Structure 1
Amino acid sequence: MRRSRKLEQHIAVFGESGSGKTVLLSSFYGAAQERGNIVNAGFNLVAENPSQGTHLSQNYLGMKRSGRVPEPNRFAAKSYAFSVKVKSRAQGRAADDGRFDALRMVWHDYPGEWFEHDVSGVDEAQRRVDTFRNLLQSDVAFLMVDGQRLLDNDGEEERYLKSLFTNYCNGLLLLRDDLLIDGKPLDSFPRIWIVALSKSDLLPDMDVDEFKDLLLEKAGDDIEKLRDVLGGLFASDGALAVGEDFVTFSSAKFEGTKIEVSERVGLNLVLPFACVFAFERHLRWLQAGRVSRKVGLQLLENAEVTAAALGVFGNWVAKAVGSSNKVAAAVGLLLTAVGPSLAHLAKDLQVKLVDFDTRASAKRDGLAAVLAGFRRDLVRAEEEQILFQSLS
């Protein structure tokens, strides 16, 4: 029997209590269960923990049918694992592209209370450290900015924003000594920190460019301080983007006692952020020579998984190392015995992506076609001024 193979990606979501993380997650999952959305997406999103899936669906249906906002998870650190089950559009069966059966995404939620209040004892302090360690495997992290709080501080937004980013910085500094191993910088850590506006439906006239400009004007120094704090935690801080990418999210449109869950903004970008967005950013850093060799190998090891699903990496490794299926060994041999630089390899992969959308769409089958759709979602989001991507 052939083993199941999954492309696994992780995201981390940070936000103060009340910033909308629970509603965002519930709407993300609940909307994905709607029959029409399944047909349009070409895949099923399945919660690997059935109890979590039931709870999120209950939250979503409570919003949709009863106008009831989900209760927040106070001091509850949770991880939610989802499988994206790709189906053949032609035959309605599980697709087999010869490489992967599914995309697995793990959503890590960091309790907002830990940014605002001190822990109550030794056990909770250890739980906070353990929770953060679980987030270290993520490639992408979202820093939530609460649209309601911006609205409440209209004209004086810096009061809220400076407090928010100060809390983020202080929370990380408190964990620093517990996270570093023998005082040495970490190699594994979220390297892309996207600033996300939650509840954007409350600010209908604010597109992502206006959101970005507001943050840079009112809290640019505070964002830079956060970058310095994060840069001090891990190796090769050249491969780090903090407050360079921005997105607007709306889980639903709230009107009095009615919640219109069909009017969502940006939630279809969560999966593209987790895999395609991070993959292409890593390639860009490698091509620009912004990372050390050690970190470059680590990023390539992570990127190889996505590249293999895209079908653009296999030829490189096969040509260099024959039948080896050890990713780290393959990349190491590729760079040492064969000789191309990290930038050379990254450039080659980037070139192979140029006509990827056309090839994957023509097949209309497998994970590659889904990833091609994710790339188009990112492009469309930029055109609609929902997403701002850094060029660095």
Structure 2
Amino acid sequence: MASNGVGKQQQIAVFGEMGSGKTVLLSSFYGMAQEAAFKEVSQFEILADDTGQGTRLHQNFLKMKKANERPPTTRFASTSYTFSIKRRRTSNPTSKPAEDLRLIWHDYPGEWFSEDPGTDDENQRRISTFRALVGSDVALLLIDGEKLAANAGEEDRYLKALFTMFRNGLVKLRDDLLDAGKPLTRFPRIWILGLSKADVLPDLDVAGLKEIVVEKAGAEMNELRDALASLVEMPEALSVGEDFVLLSSAKFEPGRIDVTERTGVNLILPMAAVLPFDRFVKWANRARRGSKLANDLARAALPVAVVLTPGIRAFSRLGRFAGPVGAVASFAATALAKTLDEADGGVFQHLEDKATKNHEFLAAVLAGFGVDLQRAEEAGVLLRSRA
């Protein structure tokens, strides 16, 4: 997780073949946030930092909603989108100054996994794009629901080819990404498998998705995990194919697109913001106390811990996150993780209620994200690793 001064900045890298639904997912994520129905119930708004990008995404959404037109597909278009999550304007005089939460969404072209670059310039853009997204803590690998359905009974044909394509693409980039062969310190450590176009398989819940992947392509997924582990420092703090989510940007029928029928799109922000915090403090707890791995993981969790935990917030106000005191503050975050485990997510609801009562915008939003993840698990939309 990256911290941008006092404000918080999350990054997510989205990977998928061409046609797997990346553009539709992004357009649905942003477009629905501009709808009156979202604004009536949400305590925050989502705004694109680049006005032109925001207009294009909103236009894509409105064409789906009103003209039943899918967004145009893109080829070799590597784009990063930055969104600010801001508190809605309020006349409440007791409201405290609100920090913004920012989401950077990296869209990695699927063609760069399936096709070799045609020019040196294109190859350099591919390398630069991947280097730009290594600041993400979370990566989302999309499994195309349409292709999975088309291979019913022979899902292994599609899934094995998909994971092998991702693996080979990463292996080809390895020498260009590593500096003198040294593993990367900053790298996505949580690789979630997402079923895009989940509406095509309405009877498949997230547990069923995991069973299909493990049964049909478990060996290939392990090979992908090994390839990722070879790129990163401290590979023991790496989760690949242990988290699963169902994603449907809209319900597509012949001649009709229903943008109100969505699944999992509202989990993008919670997965980017809260999932790393939850996972990192658990890993730090299990690592040897005082080790580099434990310290690095605990410190990476601090931006969220500072917001959610008053004791750690006090350290932050004193600016005392350097040296031994910083290590103590880092490990204090693990106490909250232990409490969250024991309460099965109920603490997030308590934290959200308390922050809302105290008019602490950012704390309420992040705690609310924790509640969203818990509810998604209960609904069979999200499956989080228990490791």
**Length-normalised TM-score, structure 1:** 0.90
| Amino acid paired to 2:75 | R
Number of the residue aligned with 1:150: 148
Instruction: Give 1:84-99 correspondences, 5 Å limit.
Output: 84-87=85-88, 91=91, 96=96
Distance in 1 separating the partners of 2:215 and 2:74: 32
Whether 2:173 is the aligned partner of 1:175: answer yes
Task: Quote how far apart the aligned CAs of 1:144 are.
Answer: 0.2
Distance in 2 separating the partners of 1:249 and 1:93: 39
Number of the residue aligned with 1:212: 210
Whether 2:347 is the aligned partner of 1:349: answer no
Distance in 2 separating the partners of 1:241 and 1:291: 21
Distance in 1 separating the partners of 2:220 and 2:232: 19
2:13 aligned counterpart, secondary structure: strand
Number of the residue aligned with 1:191: 189
Judged with a 3 Å threshold, the aligned counterparts in structure 2 of structure 1 residues 67 and 247 are, in CA distance, closer, same or farther, namely same
Number of the residue aligned with 1:34: 35
Judged with a 3 Å threshold, the aligned counterparts in structure 2 of structure 1 residues 292 and 170 are, in CA distance, closer, same or farther, namely farther
| Amino acid paired to 1:177 | D
Number of the residue aligned with 1:52: 53
Judged with a 3 Å threshold, the aligned counterparts in structure 2 of structure 1 residues 292 and 14 are, in CA distance, closer, same or farther, namely farther
| Amino acid paired to 2:252 | F
Distance in 2 separating the partners of 1:170 and 1:93: 56
| Amino acid paired to 1:210 | G
Q: Deviation above 6 Å: which 4+ runs of structure 1?
A: none
Number of the residue aligned with 2:355: 360
Question: In terms of mean alpha carbon deviation, does 300-309 or 44-53 score higher?
Answer: 300-309
Is the CA contact (8 Å cut-off) linking 2:156 and 2:217 kept in structure 1?
yes
Instruction: Give 1:121-132 correspondences, 5 Å limit.
Output: 121-132=119-130
Distance in 1 separating the partners of 2:333 and 2:318: 21
Distance in 1 separating the partners of 2:289 and 2:131: 23
Distance in 1 separating the partners of 2:93 and 2:152: 52
Judged with a 3 Å threshold, the aligned counterparts in structure 2 of structure 1 residues 137 and 183 are, in CA distance, closer, same or farther, namely same
Number of the residue aligned with 2:82: 81
Aligned residues: 376
Q: Give the aligned CA root-mean-square deviation in angstroms.
A: 2.3
2:380 aligns with one of 377, 385, 388: 385
Is the CA contact (8 Å cut-off) linking 2:312 and 2:333 kept in structure 1?
no
Distance in 2 separating the partners of 1:182 and 1:378: 39
Task: Quote how far apart the aligned CAs of 1:312 are.
Answer: 4.0
Query: Which blocks of at least 5 consecutive residues in structure 1 are unaligned?
Result: none
Task: Quote how far apart the aligned CAs of 1:181 are.
Answer: 1.0
| Amino acid paired to 1:35 | A
Number of the residue aligned with 1:324: 319
Judged with a 3 Å threshold, the aligned counterparts in structure 2 of structure 1 residues 194 and 387 are, in CA distance, closer, same or farther, namely same
Judged with a 3 Å threshold, the aligned counterparts in structure 2 of structure 1 residues 358 and 183 are, in CA distance, closer, same or farther, namely same
Number of the residue aligned with 1:161: 159
Task: Quote how far apart the aligned CAs of 1:307 are.
Answer: 1.6
Task: Quote how far apart the aligned CAs of 1:9 are.
Answer: 0.5
Query: Which blocks of at least 5 consecutive residues in structure 2 are unaligned?
Result: 341-346
Distance in 1 separating the partners of 2:362 and 2:167: 38
Distance in 2 separating the partners of 1:150 and 1:291: 44
1:79 aligned counterpart, secondary structure: strand
1:358-385, Cα deviation, whole Å (9 max, x unpaired): 4224335411111121111101100100
Percent of aligned pairs with the same amino acid: 47
Task: Quote how far apart the aligned CAs of 1:114 are.
Answer: 0.5
Question: In terms of mean alpha carbon deviation, does 359-368 or 76-85 score higher?
Answer: 359-368
1:25-47, Cα deviation, whole Å (9 max, x unpaired): 00000001111212212111000
| Amino acid paired to 1:132 | F
